[in-house]
Chains A and B, each alone.
Chain A
Amino acid sequence: MNGQHQSDNPVTTRSGDPAASPLVRFDAVSKRFAGVTAVDGVSLDIYPGEFFALLGPSGCGKTTLLRTLAGFETPDSGRVLLNGEDLTRVPPHRRPVNMMFQSYALFPHLTVAGNVAFGLKQDGLPQEEIAARIAEMLALLRLEGLEARKPHQLSGGQRQRVALARALVKHPRVLLLDEPLAALDKKLRGETQFELMRLKERLGLTFVIVTHDQEEAMTVASRIGVMNHGRLVQVATPSEIYEQPNSRWVADFIGDVNLIDGRVAEKTTVVTTVATTPAGTIRAAASDAKPGDSVAVALRPEKIRIGREVPPASLNAVEGEVAAIGYLGDFSIYKVRLADGFVMEAAAANVARVIERPVSIGDRVWLSWATDAGVVLTQ
Chain B
Amino acid sequence: MSARSHSKRSWGQRLVILIPYLWLAAFFLVPFLIVFKISLSQFATAQPPYLPQFDLDEGLAGLKEFFSELSSANYARLVSDWLYLSSYGRSLAIAFVSTAMLLALGLPIAYAMARAPRRWQGVLFLLIVLPFWTSFLIRVYAWMTILQRDGLLNQALLAIGIVDAPPVWISTDAAIFIGIVYTYLPFMVLPIYATLERMDETLLEAAADLGCPRWKAFWLVTVPLALPGAIAGSILCFIPIVGEFVIPDLLGGSGTMMIGQTLWLEFFNNRDWPAASAVAVVLLALLIVPLILFQHVQARRLEQGG
Q: Which residues of A contact B (CB under 8 A)?
A: 70-72, 91-94, 98-99, 101, 103, 105-109, 118-119, 122-123, 150, 152, 166-167, 170
Scan residues 227-272 of chain B and give those whose CB is less than 8 A from a CB of chain A: 227
Neighbouring A residues of B225 by C-beta, 8 Å: 108-109
Q: Does B213 contact A (CB under 8 A)?
A: yes
CB distance from B224 to the nearest CB of A (A): 5
* Stretch of B29-37, B93-101, B202-210, B281-289 that contacts chain A: B202-210
Neighbouring A residues of B220 by C-beta, 8 Å: 118
Scan residues 266-306 of chain B and give those whose CB is less than 8 A from a CB of chain A: 304-305
Residue pair B209, A98 in contact (C-beta under 8 Å): yes
Scan residues 195-230 of chain B and give those whose CB is less than 8 A from a CB of chain A: 200, 202-203, 205-214, 216, 220-221, 224-225, 227
Neighbouring A residues of B203 by C-beta, 8 Å: 105, 107
Residue pair A122, B205 in contact (C-beta under 8 Å): no
CB distance from A7 to the nearest CB of B (A): 23
Q: Which residue of A lies closest to B210 (CB)?
A: A119
CB distance from B263 to the nearest CB of A (A): 41
Q: How far is the CA of A166 from the CA of B209 in the complex (A)?
A: 10
Neighbouring A residues of B221 by C-beta, 8 Å: 107, 109
Residue pair A170, B211 in contact (C-beta under 8 Å): yes
Beyond A101-B205, A122-B210, 18 additional contacts (C-beta under 8 Å) are A72-B205, A72-B208, A92-B205, A92-B208, A93-B211, A98-B210, A101-B202, A103-B200, A108-B225, A109-B221, A109-B227, A118-B207, A119-B211, A123-B211, A150-B304, A152-B305, A166-B206, A170-B210
Query: Are A103 and B202 also in contact (CB < 8 A) when A93-B213, A109-B224, A152-B305 are?
Result: yes
Neighbouring B residues of A70 by C-beta, 8 Å: 205, 209
Query: Are A92 and B304 also in contact (CB < 8 A) when A101-B202, A103-B202, A105-B203 are?
Result: no
Neighbouring B residues of A93 by C-beta, 8 Å: 207-214
Q: Which residue of B lies closest to A109 (CB)?
A: B224
CB distance from A101 to the nearest CB of B (A): 5
Neighbouring B residues of A101 by C-beta, 8 Å: 202, 205-206
Residue pair B200, A118 in contact (C-beta under 8 Å): no
Q: How far is the CA of A94 from the CA of B305 in the complex (A)?
A: 35
Residue pair A92, B209 in contact (C-beta under 8 Å): yes
CB distance from A177 to the nearest CB of B (A): 12
Residue pair A166, B224 in contact (C-beta under 8 Å): no
Interface-centre pick from B206, B212, B227 (highest chain A CB count, 10 A): B206
Residue pair B212, A71 in contact (C-beta under 8 Å): no
CB distance from A14 to the nearest CB of B (A): 28
Residue pair A99, B304 in contact (C-beta under 8 Å): no
Q: How far is the CA of A71 from the CA of B205 in the complex (A)?
A: 9
Q: How far is the CA of A108 from the CA of B225 in the complex (A)?
A: 8
Q: Which residue of A lies closest to B204 (CB)?
A: A105
5 examples of A-B residue contacts, CB within 8 angstroms: A70-B205, A91-B213, A103-B202, A105-B200, A119-B210
Residue pair A105, B202 in contact (C-beta under 8 Å): yes
Scan residues 23-78 of chain B and give those whose CB is less than 8 A from a CB of chain A: none
Q: How far is the CA of A166 from the CA of B211 in the complex (A)?
A: 12
Neighbouring A residues of B216 by C-beta, 8 Å: 122
Residue pair B209, A122 in contact (C-beta under 8 Å): no
Residue pair B305, A118 in contact (C-beta under 8 Å): no
Neighbouring B residues of A109 by C-beta, 8 Å: 221, 224-225, 227
Q: Which residue of B lies closest to A169 (CB)?
A: B210
Q: Which 4 A-B pairs have the closest CB atoms?
A: A119-B210, A122-B211, A105-B206, A92-B208
Neighbouring B residues of A122 by C-beta, 8 Å: 210-212, 216
Q: How far is the CA of A263 from the CA of B7 in the complex (A)?
A: 81
Query: Are A71 and B208 also in contact (CB < 8 A) when A101-B202, A105-B200, A152-B305 are?
Result: yes
Q: How far is the CA of A92 from the CA of B225 in the complex (A)?
A: 22
Q: How far is the CA of A167 from the CA of B225 in the complex (A)?
A: 21
Neighbouring B residues of A108 by C-beta, 8 Å: 225
Neighbouring A residues of B209 by C-beta, 8 Å: 70-71, 92-93, 98-99, 167
Q: How far is the CA of A101 from the CA of B225 in the complex (A)?
A: 19
Neighbouring A residues of B206 by C-beta, 8 Å: 99, 101, 105-107, 166
Q: How far is the CA of A360 from the CA of B203 in the complex (A)?
A: 55
CB distance from B210 to the nearest CB of A (A): 3
Neighbouring A residues of B207 by C-beta, 8 Å: 93, 107, 118
Neighbouring A residues of B213 by C-beta, 8 Å: 91, 93
Q: Which residue of A lies closest to B217 (CB)?
A: A93
Residue pair B304, A152 in contact (C-beta under 8 Å): yes
CB distance from B228 to the nearest CB of A (A): 10
Q: How far is the CA of A367 from the CA of B205 in the complex (A)?
A: 54
Interface-centre pick from A103, A105, A108 (highest chain B CB count, 10 A): A105
Neighbouring A residues of B211 by C-beta, 8 Å: 93-94, 119, 122-123, 170
CB distance from A8 to the nearest CB of B (A): 19
Q: Which residue of A lies closest to B305 (CB)?
A: A152
Residue pair A118, B224 in contact (C-beta under 8 Å): no
Q: How far is the CA of A235 from the CA of B202 in the complex (A)?
A: 29
Residue pair B305, A91 in contact (C-beta under 8 Å): no
Residue pair B205, A118 in contact (C-beta under 8 Å): no
Q: How far is the CA of A109 from the CA of B221 in the complex (A)?
A: 8
CB distance from B207 to the nearest CB of A (A): 7
Q: Which residue of B lies closest to A124 (CB)?
A: B211
Neighbouring B residues of A94 by C-beta, 8 Å: 211
Q: How far is the CA of A109 from the CA of B206 in the complex (A)?
A: 14
Q: How far is the CA of A103 from the CA of B201 in the complex (A)?
A: 11
Neighbouring A residues of B212 by C-beta, 8 Å: 93, 118-119, 122
Q: How far is the CA of A48 from the CA of B166 in the complex (A)?
A: 71
Neighbouring B residues of A72 by C-beta, 8 Å: 205, 208
Neighbouring A residues of B227 by C-beta, 8 Å: 109
Residue pair B205, A105 in contact (C-beta under 8 Å): yes
CB distance from A104 to the nearest CB of B (A): 9
Q: How far is the CA of A326 from the CA of B221 in the complex (A)?
A: 52
Q: How far is the CA of A101 from the CA of B203 in the complex (A)?
A: 9
CB distance from B199 to the nearest CB of A (A): 9
CB distance from B211 to the nearest CB of A (A): 4
